[in-house]
Structure 1
Amino acid sequence: MSKASGIADLSAAKLRSWLLARMRGQKEDPPVSELHMEGPDDYVATIYEQSRDKAFRTRLEKAAVAALAEAAQGSLREGPDARAVRYLAELVDTLELRAAESTLREIAERGAFGGHGGALDPEAEELVLFALAGLQAAGELYSKWLAIWTSELPHLWPVVTAGLRISDPDRALEILPEAVERARRYPAFPLGDVLWAFATDPTYKPGVIAGALASLSNEARRRCRDALSALGAEKDELDAWVPDRGPEGSTTPAWARRKKGPELPPRFHDRAAA
């Protein structure tokens, strides 16, 4: 009998215990492959996605939510429960378990989300916020995300942009020019990833991202284009998201900025001279 089939036979309570032991690092069976940069949650997500047993999938969903709630009762500054929360947050996010939203929110409130910077293990907090961003109810948490965005917690700013965008797509557009400026002041800020997430979000209609970035200087626009190009954006995508508007401050049409030459119709210059 394979490991996966044995796990599929476990009750919800035993699944919860198995998950907690695995995510806490107490008993990782089957072992985690560090060579393939695997986390203990990856195997669980794989057996869930490959299973056609609806009853098992339901038990595993409930067990994952319950395991997260149990781990959250422990110390989350460091140690096995902080580790478990880190990987369980990834798991409930991957499986899109909305039943975990309230627990994620409770954990987040113990940290920066509740105004308590530095109270949680940094990696666990970041992953909890990322999962919460994807599982949150629309519009409810926007002010919470905005409070972290305006705080001096640069390591959380990237995930906060996702929280803002998913909470209220229209209002979130207002932070884009500031995000570009922050990337200039904080080189670790992943400008390309943030812009890509906004630009490829199907919520936005064509031209919306370009409009949100319309106030940027040409130098800032070049930084945006370079950051997106580094992620593989094509020229047509760049022109749609961050149009190159030519020389700084110029409102003259492109043809009129060119020097007089035989390739231009004489009437353009004749009229100017007249």
Structure 2
Amino acid sequence: TMFPQEKVLWIFCLIQFIIGILGNGLLFCMYIFNFRSGYRKRSIDPILLHFIFTNALLLLFRGIPEMLGIKKWEYFVNDIGCKFMSYLQSVCRGLSLSSTSLLSVFQAITISPTTLFWSKIKTKAPKCVLPCCLLYWIFNMLIDVFVPIYITGPKNRTIKGRLSLGFCSLNVNGMRPLKPVIWKSVYNFVFVGIMACSSVYMVFILYRHHQQVKHIHHTNLTSSVSPEIQATRSILLLASTFVCFSTVSGPFIIYIESFQKTISWTYYVSALLSMSFQSLSPFVLLSSDIHILKSFCVF
């Protein structure tokens, strides 16, 4: 039987999982429909499709095991299953970060001034989308190749030097000499830095645009915001949401790793926070991307 706090965590995890899967599924279908129909097709749509797909994968490979772990169904996978699930979780988490970073960079290029330099980049950027997505898959699969080596099944959780990960365990002492966590942190830091730089640049462009059209808003009350500006605000909100949830979940992760305690509520709260971005991001896009709603309603 579950304790009261475990029931609350399970209910929250279930609600988050359902909302996230439905939201990402709906948005994925809408973008696919818009992309295949060719109605106002945008060069950013393939990135958004990749972003939504990776988020849905993370919800599946992280959400279902966590719910089963809270229910104490910890032995539904064996040692190989633990390695496979943990590897996919780590890869999808990295893909979610890199996709968000790619969205920020691409949108920053889109709204850049129309100069000779930026015109060349804008022409070449759409051709680089698919190669970038493919490279992200390769890089994340390679950088996380250490995960299956140090992950074992739930039966080994009580062995000294192992950190409980819900339904699996991590050999902390075994991975310290190779320092894979440091390499993974550097990899993540690079993408967070790229996202931050592109976000600051977009804020600067938006501020300059606001100053330029200030007098128009005073004289024309019906002036509407361009689709590019709407998309930029959407990407900025996505980046801010990602940073927010990553920052909030950070202390829980540090607590778990520092004390190496057995599985507790702190682990599941950290898991919920780490999946919150993937659950809320489709609704952030739906609320601010008026283009996709209009194009979908036309048909």
Identify whether the pair has TM-score above 0.5, normalized to the shorter chain: no
Normalised TM-score (structure 2)? 0.21
Instruction: Choose 1 or 2 for highest CA Rg.
Output: 1
Normalised TM-score (structure 1)? 0.22
Higher relative contact order (CA 8 A, sep 6+): 2
Higher helix share: 2
